[in-house]
Structure 1
Amino acid sequence: MNARPLTSETARLKIGFVLARSFTLSAFAMFVDTLRLASDELDRSGRVHADWQVLGSTRHLITSSCGVEVAPTSDFVDPGQFSYIVVVGGLLTVERPIDNDTIAFLKRADLQKVPLIGVCTGSFILAEAGLMDHHETCVSWLHYQAFRERFPDLAVRSDRLYNLDKARGSCAGGTSAADLAASIVRQSISRDAERNALEVLQIERARTALDIQPRRPLDIDCSDDRLKSILITMERHVEDIISIPDLAASVGISRRQLERLFHEKTGRSPAQAYMALRLHRARALLLQTKAPLIEIAIEVGFETAGHFIKAFKKAYGETPGRVRGATTH
């Protein structure tokens, strides 16, 4: 991605932060501290190469999901003076994470072609405002299903750490906010600035947009990124099953190579691992919801309740009904 050209008004990399109600403090802190440490040498924190503001429609304190409060440092000024606007999301249970004035500001920034970035669930906020079209949104594996349900027409993935293009960015949150910020620093300031920030933060290297989220479906511990990516893809497609050849093609290998990889690393075939993931999801739904068995069966890719019950009993040694019944006693 080419950084937004700096004008006379934006002589430095300048980031405007929009914090949602119940925003994730760690994601915000990782992003802003990467900027702070990249902006000056060592740990002097001067705003030499970068500047940042927390923007708000009021100066009222904004409470994070952990209870720590942050005060906006600026009103909504001309968005054109910023290199990027970064929206930091948080709890999805908050009905109105930002107010109408903030939505209007984000749309104004879009009209002025200021790149918008959703951090953590900030991508949900941008999508809700109609601002994530034509961008493959990156979300945490934890929020993948929720994003698909809310925005079925938008492209989304949960295997990578972040995605950044000319107009939009998105990241899974947590420490990946530092990786995304480091990428922007490297492009907009210098590699030396990026290195200084990461060394002070005790981060050995910035992960790239191609790195895989640290998720271990089925508790399989494996260093092979191809296998990790496929397992995450399987996990997020338990209803709309992806064929084994297509899974292999998604990481650039043949079906036979994929079969060998799975047997070597997990002792299972890809089909067996896929079935285990689907049934694991079904068990969670049985324990956490009151949905009828047929609905659960369909949600994890079975056409009939009978087929689902047979596969479940083979995997867990008891029927779905018995598993659900045990939780009511």
Structure 2
Amino acid sequence: MTSVAEGHRSGAGLRTNKAPAPVQRPRLTVGFILAKRFTLCAFANFVDVLRLAADEGDRSRPILCDWAILSDTMDAVPSSSGVTVQPKERLGDPAKFDYIVVVGGLMDETPSLGAAYTKYLRQAADAGVPLVGVCTGAFFLHQIGLLDGHRCCVSWFHHADFLEQFDGLDPVADQIFIVDGNRLTCSGGASSAHLAAYLVEKHIGRAQASKSLHIMIIDDLYLPEKPQPGVTLDLKTQDPLVRRALLIMQQNIDFPLTVKEIAKRMGIGKRQIERHFSSALGISPQAAFLRIRLTFARHLVETTDKSIAQIAVDCGFCDSSHLSRMFRRRYENTPQEVRRTLLEGLG
């Protein structure tokens, strides 16, 4: 009889000649460039989708996905919340990644990425590596000429800032993200997770993308055309065309657009948008726009000390008398009466 010890020495019945399993190359690799004072939420949402899709369950091993935070100095990068993130590797060959993601943040405090990052991103573009702008990352890509000829997505909150700082580009602020060839941009926040899930679905599979979002307690995958959420409105609809039109209205409260101008921005006909509003909300686009402006005017009356004349200008009315007439029709009181009642209540 062969002893257990002899069996171990001889390997009888205990060893196999199986070759080690080949190391699986990740199907999706992402390099991150974090601007100083970057938005932590936007970065965390993006990278957590990759993390959760990269392995079975929630074990976080970078098997199907791999990612690295890149740096020219290897100094920790401060986020806008004060939390710092330590880079993993220095800038090298951008072609080793499937995507390079630039996560922006507070533009006033970080007016540019710097020469090293600019050079690296241009090398990536020359090598055909798709570039992704997250949050104000689109600002940086446009700043160095890498969004020329491409549509880009920015937050409705930063839309006016983008127009002020950059000429020659019309940013889109009524979609959660945009894929335009090898340029991908999103508005930040939860939209970062949806853009990351889009990449996971493309390179790994829909199941992994959905799993990531579900674990993060985020709704299932959204298409790029999903409208961004904006200022809270009492106009509720699931019609994506109407929701996009409402968002455009929100972004132009101080300078009301005609229905024809809104339709042109959306690439549809005036009659089409009118039919959708009638079906979804039971009112015309003009009436919806007026309601949005009056809702915002009431918000300013109740929460700020701005003069009624200034509120009228901010909400696109000719003067305070025009605002007061429309306000009374809607709320049965003038702005002055609403404010007086609030002040009496405080007293």
Matched, 1:96 2:111: yes
**% identity of equivalent residues:** 36
Could you tell me which residue of structure 1 aligns to residue 20 of structure 2?
Answer: none
Does the Cα contact within 8 Å between 1:217 and 1:277 map onto a contact in 2?
A: no
Aligned residue number for residue 213 of structure 2: 198
1:207 matched residue in structure 2: 222
**CA deviation digits over 1:265-307, x for unaligned, max 9?**
65753223324545777896xx6999x97xx95x8767xxxx3
User: In the alignment, what sits opposite 1:7?
Assistant: none
Identify the residue that residue 194 of structure 2 maps to in structure 1. Answer: 179
Say which of 78, 82, 87 aligns to 1:72.
87
1:42 alignment partner, SS class: coil
The structural deviation recorded for 1:112 is 1.5
How far did 1:246 drift?
Answer: 5.0
Q: Does residue 274 of the first structure (1) align with residue 289 of the second (2)?
A: yes
Q: Report the Cα offset of residue 79 of structure 1.
A: 0.8
Q: Give the RMSD, CA atoms, in angstroms.
A: 3.3
Find the aligned partners of 1:217 and 1:258 in 2 and give their Cα distance.
21
Cα distance, 1:132–1:308 mapped onto 2, change above 3 Å: farther
Q: Secondary structure at the match of 2:157?
A: helix
**Alpha-carbon distance, 1:230 to partner:** 0.7
Structure label with greater radius of gyration: 2
Q: State the alpha-carbon separation in 2 of the partners of residues 136 and 239 from structure 1.
A: 25
Instruction: Give the TM-score, by structure 2 length.
Output: 0.76
* 8 Å Cα contact 2:253/2:316 also seen in 1: yes
Rate the CA distance shift 1:95–1:43 in 2: closer, same or farther, 3 A: closer
Please say if 1:87 is aligned against 2:102.
Answer: yes
Question: Which residue of the partner structure matches residue 173 of structure 2?
Answer: 158
Q: How has the CA–CA distance of structure 1 residues 259 and 204 changed in structure 2, closer, same or farther, with 3 Å as cutoff?
A: closer
Look up the SS of the partner of 2:90 in the other structure: coil
- Residue 176 of structure 1 deviates from its aligned partner by 0.8
Unaligned runs of 5+ in 2: 1-24, 328-333
Aligned to 2:16: none
**Could you report, residue by residue, the CA deviation over 1:206-245 in whole angstroms, capped at 9, with x for unpaired residues?**
1110111122454433333222111111222456654324
Tell me if structure 1 keeps the 8 A contact 2:133–2:184. yes
Relative distance call for 1:288 and 1:15 in structure 2 (3 A) is farther
Give the Cα–Cα distance (whole angstroms) in 2 for the partners of residues 273 and 39 of structure 1.
45
Aligned counterpart, 2:325: 314
CA contact (8 A) 1:84 1:114 kept: yes
Is 1:146 the counterpart of 2:126 in the alignment? Answer: no
**2:5 aligned partner:** none
Q: Which residue of 2 aligns with 1:129?
A: 144
| Aligned CA distance change for structure 1 residues 278 and 202 (closer, same or farther; 3 Å) | closer
Q: Structure 1 length as normaliser, TM-score?
A: 0.79
CA–CA distance in 1 between the matches of 2:134 and 2:73?
Answer: 21
d(CA) in 2 for partners of 1:215, 1:183: 22
- State the 1:254 CA deviation: 5.6
Partners of 1:141 and 1:159 within 8 A in 2: yes
Query: Secondary structure at 1:213's aligned position in 2?
Result: coil
Query: Which residue number in structure 1 is paired with residue 61 of structure 2?
Result: 46
Any conservation in 1 of the 2:230–2:250 contact (CA below 8 Å)?
no
Aligned to 2:134: 119
- Residues 69-103 of structure 1: per-residue CA shift (max 9 Å, x gap): 10111100111111110001112321435222112
2:74 to 26, 39, 59: 59
Gaps of 5+ in 1: 1-9
**For residue 82 of structure 1, what is the amino acid of its counterpart?**
F
Q: Larger RCO: Structure 1 or Structure 2 (Cα < 8 Å, ≥ 6 residues apart)? A: 1
Tell me the number of residue pairs that the alignment of Structure 1 and Structure 2 aligns: 305
